[in-house]
Amino acid sequence: MSEVCGFSIDEYCVKVKDFHGGNLAPGLIIAGFMVDLACRNLPENTLFEVICETPSCIPDAVQLLTPCTAGNQWMHIIDVGRYALSVYDKYSGEGVRVHLNPSKLKKWAAIEEWFFRLKPKSEQDTQEILKQAIEAGTSILDIEKVTITPEYLVKKKKKSVSICPVCNEAYPSNYGALCPACRDDCLPYISETEHMRTA
Amino acid sequence: MSEVCGFSIDEYCVKVKDFHGGNLAPGLIIAGFMVDLACRNLPENTLFEVICETPSCIPDAVQLLTPCTAGNQWMHIIDVGRYALSVYDKYSGEGVRVHLNPSKLKKWAAIEEWFFRLKPKSEQDTQEILKQAIEAGTSILDIEKVTITPEYLVKKKKKSVSICPVCNEAYPSNYGALCPACRDDCLPYISETEHMRTA
């Protein structure tokens, strides 16, 4: 295995390290192989979306190797803590799920130590983990066919937009009489309501 | 205003269109100015994270213009449907929140029609919306100082990893005796448990 989605491993490493904030995490290499394996097992020309089961690393491989991003909402993150993703036809829901199979790590000691956090990060040999991740390629992964349930498939058209009478900001009208932030008082910040210059 | 985060508007448009799946949505232009305005109002060399209040467009501007991505978890999405983002010191929580102020759209008819969905997409003049978004720049935005609440600041170190006795996949041990997917039966797919080739 010397490529992911048409890029050489070296090309992929440069791209993903740059995008991911300058750090080439081993999880990005494994995630690259996951995306590659999943995409190779979809029928050609499928218009697809992606569900990641962890926010860790996998979303960045997806966003660099496929047209699916957080901002176009073709990539979804459901954080159940598993190192897995599903890639599926956005209309029929038919697709594949790929996950790292922990029982396949036995012959890759450095990956196993990293993945199971058996050593503090300062004692890990990052170069060896990256080397093993590249050598292991898709051999540490499992793939299965899945069908995504209908409520996750192509979203309905967006509704009209309202102004929230509390915050005076715009929000999708179908959320109710107030925007969810004001309705549920759920925002994680305190505002100093200090006006600053905007130019 | 002719730049966002050091890129000319043209350079930014090419980058973001390519990343966003080939479509230059007007929201990406506005989001670029939002990121630019927020970052210019943080003290230099601040190690920062970002909270987006909608998954729509804004996350892609953030990921292209800052080191914060979904996969490195320096970018967070809290979907309350508001066209807003906060950029803040990851340790102290001090930062700024920028949002599109709907009352400032009155002099930008094409943006207003698009933002409030006053016309079906087929009747909108996308080139005019993009042109107005570039001309408007930061003039349609508001900025305020905010302090992010402590529970959103730098995450604790990750705990050890367990194997879920139901699915046999790995997950963070602090989630409990089963992985959240098996515990809450919350996954959006049906598996055919069919083994496929992994190489």
Tell me how far apart the alpha carbons of residues A183 and A177 are, in angstroms, rounded to a whole number: 8
Residue B194 has pLDDT above 90, yes or no: no
Q: Are residues B70 and B16 in the same domain?
A: yes
Give the list of residues 6+ apart from residue A149 with CB closer than 8 angstroms, or none: A93, B188, B189, B190
pLDDT interval class at A195 (50, 70, 90) = low
Mean predicted lDDT score pLDDT of chain A = 92
Q: Are residues B177 and B136 in the same domain?
A: no
Q: Are residues B190 and B121 in the same domain?
A: no
Residue A194 has pLDDT above 60, yes or no: no
Tell me how far apart the alpha carbons of residues B77 and B70 are, in angstroms, rounded to a whole number: 9
Domain encompassing residue B185: 159-199
Q: Are residues A60 and A100 in the same domain?
A: yes
Q: Three-class SS of residue B13?
A: helix
- Verify whether the Cβ–Cβ distance B161 to A53 is below 8 Å: no
Q: Are residues A31 and A118 in the same domain?
A: yes
- Verify whether the Cβ–Cβ distance A179 to B67 is below 8 Å: no
Q: What is the pLDDT of residues A110-129, one digit of tens each?
A: 999 999 999 888 899 999 99
Q: Are residues B193 and B131 in the same domain?
A: no
Averaged pLDDT, A124-137: 96
Q: Looking at B152, B168, B188, which one is the last position of a domain?
A: B152
Cβ contacts below 8 Å, chain A against chain B, sum to 266
Residue A76 has pLDDT above 70, yes or no: yes
B189: domain CATH number is: 3.30.60.80
A50: domain CATH number is: 3.30.1330.130
Q: Are residues B98 and B180 in the same domain?
A: no
Interface mutation vs chain B, best among A47, A173, A196, A197, most B CBs within 10 Å: A196
What pLDDT score was predicted for residue B92? 94
Residue A197 has pLDDT above 70, yes or no: no
Beta bridge partner(s), residue B94:
B147
Q: Are residues A139 and A171 in the same domain?
A: no
Joined tokens for residue B138:
């930061």
Q: Are residues A38 and A94 in the same domain?
A: yes
Averaged pLDDT, B153-181: 88
pLDDT interval class at A187 (50, 70, 90) = confident
Tell me how far apart the alpha carbons of residues A148 and A42 are, in angstroms, rounded to a whole number: 14
Sign, CA dihedral A1-A90-B60-B89, equals: negative
pLDDT interval class at B199 (50, 70, 90) = low
Q: Is the pTM of this model over 0.90?
A: yes
Strands B75-77 and B48-52: parallel
Q: Are residues B132 and B190 in the same domain?
A: no
Q: Are residues B51 and B115 in the same domain?
A: yes
Q: Are residues A165 and A109 in the same domain?
A: no
What pLDDT score was predicted for residue B197? 61
Count of structural domains within chain B = 2
Percent of chain B with pLDDT over 70: 94
Averaged pLDDT, A16-31: 94
